[in-house]
Amino acid sequence: MLFNSYEFIFAFLPAVLAGFFLLGQRSRSLALGWIIAASLVFYAWWRPLNVLIIAPSILVNYVLARWLLRLAADEGRSPVAARLVLALGIAFNVAFLGYFKYVDFLLTVANDLVGTRFVLTQVILPLGISFITFQKIAFLVDVHGRRVTSFTLRDYGLFVLFFPQLIAGPIVHYREMMPQFHQVSCRPDRENLAVGLALFVFGLFKKVVLADGIAEHVSPVYDFAAGGHPVSFFPAWFAAVGFTLQIYFDFSGYTDMALGLARLIGIKLPANFNSPLKSGNIIEFWLRWHMTLTRFLTAYLYNPLVLWLTRRRMARGLPGIGGRNPSAGAFFQLLVLPTLVTMFVSGVWHGAGYLFILWGLLHGVYLCVNHAWRFFVPRIWTDKDARERIMGPAGFALTFLAVAVAMVLFRSPNVTAAKELLEGMIGLGGINLPRSIHAHLGPLAGVFSPSAQLSGREFAISGAWAAVLLLGALVLPNTLELMARFEPALGVRPRPAASPSPLRFLDWTPTVPWAVALSFLVVSVVMRLGGKSEFLYWQF
């Protein structure tokens, strides 16, 4: 069931809330049981068989987690057994994900590389399987690490199945969710309802009006390129920048809706986006984009890898990477290697395809360059003030361009499309303008070529979409900033500013003017609802 569908907004959600608050008057246990049942209905709506696939895997994970809990409670007397059970659990989850998501890709790779003729299985991917699997692995690791010390089947079911974040995150930790569920009042709370509803409407607007609006202009360019047609300079850049904006508003819109839905029943989810396109470098970008995935990969992959590699190096008497003057060996072994491995996994996690892997590795390279810059450039360029003055704006522009270029790999339906678009972006597909615009260029006309294929109207509308969304993403405060007074996400509070922001007047409050403004957003959304428009991240 889609958050942006009539059945969800006008039937499922009101029924879930009514049931939760009614049952909550009798007992919290019943109300939470109702949320689990509702989550199963939500998940089954798209394809009921999915529940039969996912439920056994949840039960297996629960049994393994109970086993781990017993071993962990043994005060570490059986660390090898605990490690084996953890390894078994991770292997089970990876195999489960691998079968549904990667088996066809691996067969394709074998067919491409070795010339085998495996027939693809065409297994249908259960919705949100990557998110659910990551969460289950994190839970097992947390039980093994004694960060989770007690749980019941109901708690575990609630943690894995909670419908607002079931399909596309935010990826949550048991320890940040369960205390909330154990204390939730199960009674309607005016502030929670107002904040939750406002977040949901903001998210719905971002998804249905902004993301889907620009998608109508972005998708045809990718489809055109996928056919092997050369793409001219401006449409190619529009495809790159336009998709960057589309996915930002789509996924951050989804996240706002998830935060809002959870908040309606008094639960706060962690933040997932913090205006990533305003970042001044790529390291900062990853701290502001899909933040819970970055948190997961850092805690469960990058940090253990760095720790393991550092132990190996230092046991051999080699230095670690501390200080401002790391050796080249330490830099490559302790920073480049774990970064590339982590971003490779990030790419593979996003999708089973060569382009997703390339996208992940490209971001890995970006991050390594950024780290190298931080380590090595201050030694050469010693004027710190000049460096910061120049690299502030340059870093922002460079980061945006790097992200947009990588997004071409992320969005392209095939390698041909990516090639045509990247070639177009460096001008190999010609630097053309629609005839109607070219005719008015005067002395500049010689720089560009007129094209009969490009429509002046479409060119102008696409440009306007990109300009408006860029303005929204780069200048306006984000939803969490607008609502910071009400802690819209876990731990989000107003930042003490040295000087008050000139946009402070935009801060959301539960007042009549904001109710009127949100009503306008609702009307604009309802006018566009009805078409089938899935969230981009649901495919993962």
Partner 1 sequence: MYVNFIVAVELQLKIKFRVADVESFQTVGDIVKEAQSLLARK
| Catalytic site positions | 350
Give the integer Cα–Cα distance in Å for 92 and 62. 12
Sole window of 102-110, 244-252, 305-313, 406-414 interacting with partner 1 (rule: CB under 8 A): 305-313
Shorter beta-carbon distance to partner 1: residue 83 or 387: 83
Site string for partner 1, 146-175 (x = CB under 8 A): xx----------------------------
- Asked whether position 307 contacts partner 1 by CB under 8 A, the answer is yes
Sole window of 285-293, 318-326, 395-403, 483-491 interacting with partner 1 (rule: CB under 8 A): 318-326
Q: Provide the minimum distance between the beta carbon of 147 and partner 1 in the complex, in angstroms, as a whole number.
A: 6
- Asked whether position 76 contacts partner 1 by CB under 8 A, the answer is yes
When binding is defined by CB under 8 A, the residue of 314, 444, 445, 475 that contacts partner 1 is: 314
For partner 1, how many residues bind (rule: CB under 8 A)? 21
Residue with tokens 């689990």: 36
Q: Provide the minimum distance between the beta carbon of 300 and partner 1 in the complex, in angstroms, as a whole number.
A: 9
Number of H helices, E strands in the chain: 24, 2
- H helix or E strand, kind and range, residue 379: helix 354-380
Asked if residue 203 lies in contact with residue 257, where contact means CB atoms within 8 angstroms, the answer is yes
Site for partner 1 in 453-512 (CB under 8 A): none
Shorter beta-carbon distance to partner 1: residue 298 or 455: 298
- Asked whether position 322 contacts partner 1 by CB under 8 A, the answer is yes
Sole window of 137-145, 379-387, 418-426, 504-512 interacting with partner 1 (rule: CB under 8 A): 137-145
User: What are the beta bridge partners of residue 433?
Assistant: 450
Give the integer Cα–Cα distance in Å for 250 and 246. 6
Sole window of 36-44, 222-230, 296-304, 355-363 interacting with partner 1 (rule: CB under 8 A): 296-304
Sole window of 60-68, 306-314, 364-372, 384-392 interacting with partner 1 (rule: CB under 8 A): 306-314
- Asked whether position 315 contacts partner 1 by CB under 8 A, the answer is yes
Q: Provide the minimum distance between the beta carbon of 375 and partner 1 in the complex, in angstroms, as a whole number.
A: 15
Give the integer Cα–Cα distance in Å for 67 and 479. 42
Asked if residue 83 lies in contact with residue 72, where contact means CB atoms within 8 angstroms, the answer is no
Q: Provide the minimum distance between the beta carbon of 161 and partner 1 in the complex, in angstroms, as a whole number.
A: 25
- Asked whether position 80 contacts partner 1 by CB under 8 A, the answer is no
Nearest to 44 by CA among 53, 57, 31: 53
Give the integer Cα–Cα distance in Å for 93 and 114. 28
Residue 346, C-beta contacts closer than 8 angstroms, at least 6 positions apart? 293, 297, 360, 363
Shorter beta-carbon distance to partner 1: residue 47 or 83: 83
Shorter beta-carbon distance to partner 1: residue 240 or 309: 309
When binding is defined by CB under 8 A, the residue of 311, 387, 440, 504 that contacts partner 1 is: 311
Q: Provide the minimum distance between the beta carbon of 338 and partner 1 in the complex, in angstroms, as a whole number.
A: 11
When binding is defined by CB under 8 A, the residue of 9, 64, 135, 142 that contacts partner 1 is: 142
Shorter beta-carbon distance to partner 1: residue 188 or 319: 319
Nearest to 125 by CA among 302, 351, 366: 351
Give the integer Cα–Cα distance in Å for 224 and 413. 11
- Asked whether position 306 contacts partner 1 by CB under 8 A, the answer is yes
Shorter beta-carbon distance to partner 1: residue 314 or 527: 314
Residue 192, C-beta contacts closer than 8 angstroms, at least 6 positions apart? 263, 264, 265, 266
Give the integer Cα–Cα distance in Å for 448 and 467. 21
When binding is defined by CB under 8 A, the residue of 158, 198, 231, 321 that contacts partner 1 is: 321
When binding is defined by CB under 8 A, the residue of 19, 188, 220, 320 that contacts partner 1 is: 320
Sole window of 136-144, 359-367, 374-382, 443-451 interacting with partner 1 (rule: CB under 8 A): 136-144
Site for partner 1 in 240-269 (CB under 8 A): none
Question: Burial level of 265, CB count in 10 A (0-12/13-18/19+)?
Answer: buried
Q: Provide the minimum distance between the beta carbon of 304 and partner 1 in the complex, in angstroms, as a whole number.
A: 5
Token digits for 78? 């059986």
- Asked whether position 299 contacts partner 1 by CB under 8 A, the answer is yes
Give the integer Cα–Cα distance in Å for 350 and 537. 9
When binding is defined by CB under 8 A, the residue of 141, 259, 417, 484 that contacts partner 1 is: 141
Shorter beta-carbon distance to partner 1: residue 192 or 342: 342
Nearest to 169 by CA among 62, 286, 256: 256
Residue 454, C-beta contacts closer than 8 angstroms, at least 6 positions apart? 232, 234, 235, 432, 433, 434, 435
Q: Provide the minimum distance between the beta carbon of 310 and partner 1 in the complex, in angstroms, as a whole number.
A: 5
Sole window of 163-171, 204-212, 316-324, 384-392 interacting with partner 1 (rule: CB under 8 A): 316-324
3-state DSSP percent of the chain in helix, strand and coil, to 5? 70, 0, 25
Contacts 24+ apart (CB under 8 A), 31-35: 31/184, 31/186, 32/154, 32/158, 32/181, 32/184, 33/154, 35/158, 35/162, 35/163, 35/265
Shorter beta-carbon distance to partner 1: residue 83 or 457: 83
Give the integer Cα–Cα distance in Å for 406 and 13. 37
Shorter beta-carbon distance to partner 1: residue 86 or 239: 86
- 498 CB neighbour count, 10 Å cutoff: 4
Q: Provide the minimum distance between the beta carbon of 144 and partner 1 in the complex, in angstroms, as a whole number.
A: 8
Asked if residue 159 lies in contact with residue 139, where contact means CB atoms within 8 angstroms, the answer is yes
Shorter beta-carbon distance to partner 1: residue 274 or 310: 310
Residues that bind partner 1 (CB under 8 A): 75-76, 141-142, 144-147, 299, 303-304, 306-307, 310-311, 314-315, 319-322
